[in-house]
Structure formats: C-alpha cells, structure tokens
C-alpha cells in the first residue's frame, strides 16, 4: 500500500506546494495527488484547473473574511484617498464619508495582523478596473489560457503578460515561503535479483520567495481629487496597478538579486543560455530552435510553453525569413513562434551590448512551462499612503502604493534565454 507519509523527494515537493497554496485548498489537494501517486507536475495542473474559472486574489480576500463580489459594492478608491488626505490634515471626521473603505482596510488589518502605512486596498479591488467584463468580477490567475476567451476576463492576465503565459500567483501569504527545489540523479539499471540498487543522490535547495517591496508613486492634482470618483477610480487604479505589476515582472525577468530585487529568469543558475556570437548575431531560425531545445534536453515537460520577446525583436522577426524561399520567422498565426505562444513586452531589454554590437542587442526568454515561475504576494493587499505635503507647493497630492512580492523560478531547467540578438 502506498504510504503518503513516506519521506521521498516527490512527496516533500508536493506537500511544500500544498503549503504554498494553503489559502486555496492546496494542502488537501496535495494529499489527494499523493494518494494517486502523483507528482508536483500533477499538483500544478490540478491547482491550475481548480482555479481556472476563479479569482485567486478574491479567494485570498475571502480567507480574510472579505468577499469582493458581495461586500465591495460602491467601494471607491478615490473616496478613500480623499479621506486619507483630509485625515493627514488632522480632520477627525475624515473617514465618515468613506466608512466602507475604512472598514475594508480595518478588516484586512485585523484578520492579517499586518498594519499599513496608510490604508489597505485588497488586491482584487485594485485590479478590477482591468476587467473588460463586470466591475466586480475577475478571471482566473493560475494556469495558461488555451484560447482568447480565457484571456479577456482576467484583469491580471491583461495586465501581466507572464501571468497570461501561465506564471502562478499565490496571494494573501503571511509568512515567508521556502519552496524546496530538488535536483537528484535518477539513474536506474537492470539488476540481478541480489544486485545492489543504484543510489539516487539528492541535493536540495530552497527556491527563494523572500518578499521584496515594490512601490509606485504618482502625483495627483488637488483639482483632480475633486473630480468624479468614477473617473478617478479608473485612472488612479489602473496607473498604480500597472506600475506595480510592471516592476514585479521586470524583477521576474531581469532581476539580479541586488538592490533588494529578486533573482529573475535571465540571472537564474541552471537555465539554458543560447549564444548568438562574439559580436552578437542577427536573429535566425536556429536560435529559436535552440531556445526550444534547451528545456526539452533538461527533460522539462511541455505544458504551458511560450516565448517572451520585446517589440524590437518582434519587428525584426516579421522581416526575417526562416530560410531561402521560406516564410518569416514570426507568423501571423495564434502561435507565432515555432508553434508556441508569444508575449510581447518591452520589459525585456533591447539595448544590450555584445562585442562590437553596442547597445543594439535584445533578450528573448522561452519556457516549456511558465507555471514553473511563482509570484508570491504577501500581506492582505496594496498599502496606499497619501502624502499631501511633499508636493503641496505645486498643488499636488503624492500617492505611494506598495506591495510585497516574492518571485522564484521553481524549475530552472524549464527556461532558456538568449541575450545577444541584434535587433537595433
């Protein structure tokens, strides 16, 4: 009989992932997967399917006793900002007209044990203005979309291309997570009845998910503060959410682990590094074949595969043929690169240098499974601080939004990169 308590590499991996997604039923799911003799790949597929049509950010809110669908009718970010502005000026009745917003922040403070510098806005509410559907509903966050219909209902997918490709988001976390990564020899052999089994050598390291503070600042005129709450909510919410998630994704792609940044994909040890040449190289079909081949060689299963390129690379590939008499590298199909999806974002650099190619090289990243990168959102929401003093002479109010994010590559072998494609 299979014993799910057995101390094996695979069991500990699945149980650890269950802890990561505890707010979303991960621990129970981990036990179910182990009873079926499943592995971490099965767990990730199951958690993805479970949350395919749910809002993970709202689920994290509900774990704190708040349901964005039923409890947030009439919530206004602008009203909360006005109240915080007046409170900063010492108005004792500042929050009287923002009772809902105050109660939501206090609820998240009391139930999470976290104290904001200003006030908390739940993740689900800050992201809702990216939804092309209803104002209080959001799409799925975990798992890769299989068609356009799955993309349009998810505000975070519209906002964050890496999430659109399948990167995982775990929200509402309270303690720093250390997810173990296991790298083991898996050599087996045919043996006689009394032959000694080949030893599997196990090495373990932690995938670093330490929280890093991401902050965005914007200045709003006092006049704008007096305008329509509906208009201001959309503008301010979109600006803050965009800035925060752009920086989080920049760290996931390019972070080098210094200056309080995470270690991103391009600087993670163990990914495949494809090299164009001593002086860079013009993009060629073979480069993308090699990017695809790297994870396959590392035995990384192809589940939610895709490329990430910048606009300069896409433009170059539209005019570069695969070979004499063959189509262009970038096709106009739904899967434009080697039959894989491709996200275009200028978060990947286009000004790298290699040899004599000075400031004209671009980076491209590929993954056979984008669910192998994890964004961990700590705390109950985005901390909003209103500062009416710093820019008061210019008639402006400073708004600072911050959140704590951990980013980690769970399986480096699933990723590959090239940093010297000449696209300039």
User: What pLDDT does residue 54 have?
Assistant: 55
Is residue 106 packed enough to be buried (19+ CB in 10 Å), middle (13-18) or exposed (0-12)? middle
Query: What CATH code is carried by the domain that includes residue 117?
Result: 3.90.1690
Q: Are residues 330 and 189 in the same domain?
A: no
**Do the domain assignments include residue 289?**
yes
Burial level of 299, CB count in 10 A (0-12/13-18/19+)? exposed
Q: What is the DSSP letter of 131?
A: -
Range of the domain at 186: 9-50+177-209
Q: Give the end of a domain, one of 209, 233, 255.
A: 209
203 close to 230: Cβ distance less than 8 angstroms = no
Tell me the DSSP string of 179-203.
EEEEEE--------TTPPPPPPPEE
Contacts for 138 with CB less than 8 Å, ≥ 6 apart: 55, 57, 58, 124, 127, 128, 131, 153, 154, 155, 156
What stretches of 298-401 show up as alpha helix (H) in DSSP?
311-318
Total domains present in the chain: 2
Q: What is the pLDDT of residues 89-144, one digit of tens each?
A: 999 999 999 999 999 999 989 988 899 999 999 888 887 655 433 322 222 222 22
Backbone angles phi, psi at 27, to 5 degrees: -65, -40
Structure confidence at residue 233 (pLDDT) = 74
Residues 181 and 280 in one domain: no
The pair of three-digit structure tokens given for residue 291, joined into one six-digit string: 């990017």
Same structural domain for residues 324 and 368?
yes
pLDDT number for residue 129 = 56
The per-residue pLDDT for 335 is 96
Shared-domain flag, residues 238 and 364: yes
Within-domain flag for 382: yes
In a domain, 364, yes or no: yes
**Residue 4, in any domain of the structure:** no
Residue 227 carries which DSSP code? Answer: S
What is the pTM (predicted TM-score) of this model? 0.81
Q: What is the DSSP string of 43-97?
A: HHHHHHHHTTTS-HHHHHHHHTT--HHHH-TT--HHHHHHHHHHHHTT-TTTTGG
| pLDDT for res 238 | 83
- Residue 99 to residues 103, 120, 234, 306, Cα–Cα distance (Å): 6, 13, 20, 45
Number of H helices, E strands in the chain: 15, 13
Strand 357-367 with 352-354, pairing: antiparallel
Asked whether residue 370 is assigned to any structural domain, the reply reads yes
Of 170, 56, 57, 63, the residue nearest 111 (C-alpha) = 63
Token readout for 185 is 């020899």
pLDDT of residue 88: 94
Spans of the chain below 50 pLDDT: 1-2, 4-6, 131-154, 185, 200-202
pLDDT on residue 137: 27
Q: Are residues 357 and 307 in the same domain?
A: yes
Q: What is the pLDDT of residue 44?
A: 77
Q: Do both 21 and 168 map to the same domain?
A: no
Q: Do 45 and 75 share a structural domain?
A: no
Q: Is residue 3 part of a domain?
A: no
Are residues 36 and 95 both part of a single domain? no
171 plus 193 within the same structural domain: no
Q: Mark whether 274 and 335 lie in a shared domain.
A: yes
Same domain, 46 and 96: no
In a domain, residue 35? The reply is yes
pLDDT, residue 83, reads 95
Alpha-carbon distance 23 to 20, whole Å? Answer: 8
Q: What is the C-alpha to C-alpha distance for residues 47 and 18, in angstroms, rounded to an integer?
A: 9
| Separation between Cα atoms, residue 142 and residue 144, nearest integer Å | 7
20 and 148 assigned to the same domain: no
């Amino acid at each position: 009989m299979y014993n799910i308590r057995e101390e094996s590499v695979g069991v500990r991996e699945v149980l650890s992932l269950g802890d990561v997604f505890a707010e979303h039923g991960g621990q129970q799911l981990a036990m179910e997967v182990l009873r079926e003799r499943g592995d971490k790949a099965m767990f990730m597929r199951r958690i993805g399917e479970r949350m395919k049509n749910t809002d993970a950010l709202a689920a994290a809110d509900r774990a704190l006793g708040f349901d964005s669908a039923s409890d947030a009718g009439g919530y206004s970010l602008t009203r909360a900002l006005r109240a915080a502005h007046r409170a900063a000026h010492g108005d004792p009745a500042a929050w009287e007209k923002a009772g809902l917003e105050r109660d939501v922040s206090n609820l998240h403070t009391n139930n999470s044990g976290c104290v904001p510098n200003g006030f908390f806005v739940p993740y689900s509410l800050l992201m809702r203005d990216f939804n092309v559907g209803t104002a209080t509903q959001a799409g799925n966050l975990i798992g890769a979309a299989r068609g356009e219909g799955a993309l349009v209902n998810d505000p975070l997918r519209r906002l964050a291309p890496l999430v659109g490709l399948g990167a995982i988001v775990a929200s509402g976390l309270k303690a720093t997570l250390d997810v173990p990564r296991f790298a083991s020899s898996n050599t087996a052999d045919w043996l006689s009845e009394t032959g000694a089994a080949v030893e599997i050598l196990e090495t373990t390291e932690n995938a670093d998910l330490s929280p890093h503070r991401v902050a965005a600042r914007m200045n709003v005129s006092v006049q704008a503060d007096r305008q329509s709450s509906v208009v201001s909510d959309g503008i301010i919410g979109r600006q803050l959410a965009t800035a925060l998630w752009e920086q989080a994704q920049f760290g996931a792609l390019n972070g080098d682990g210094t200056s309080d940044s995470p270690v991103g994909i391009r600087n993670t040890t163990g990914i495949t590094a494809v090299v164009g040449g001593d002086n860079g190289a013009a993009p060629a079909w073979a480069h993308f074949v090699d990017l695809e081949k790297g994870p396959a060689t590392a035995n990384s299963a192809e589940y939610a595969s895709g490329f990430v390129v910048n606009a300069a690379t896409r433009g170059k590939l539209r005019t570069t043929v695969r070979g004499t008499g063959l189509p262009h590298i970038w096709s106009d199909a739904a899967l434009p690169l080697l039959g894989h999806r491709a996200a275009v974002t200028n978060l990947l650099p286009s000004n790298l240098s290699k040899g004599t190619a000075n400031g004209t090289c671009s980076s491209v990243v590929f993954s056979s499974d984008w669910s192998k990168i994890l964004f961990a959102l700590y705390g109950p929401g985005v901390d909003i601080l209103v500062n009416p003093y710093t820019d008061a002479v210019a008639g402006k109010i400073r708004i600072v939004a911050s959140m704590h994010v951990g980013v980690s590559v769970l399986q480096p072998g699933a990723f590959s990169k090239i940093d010297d494609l000449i696209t300039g």
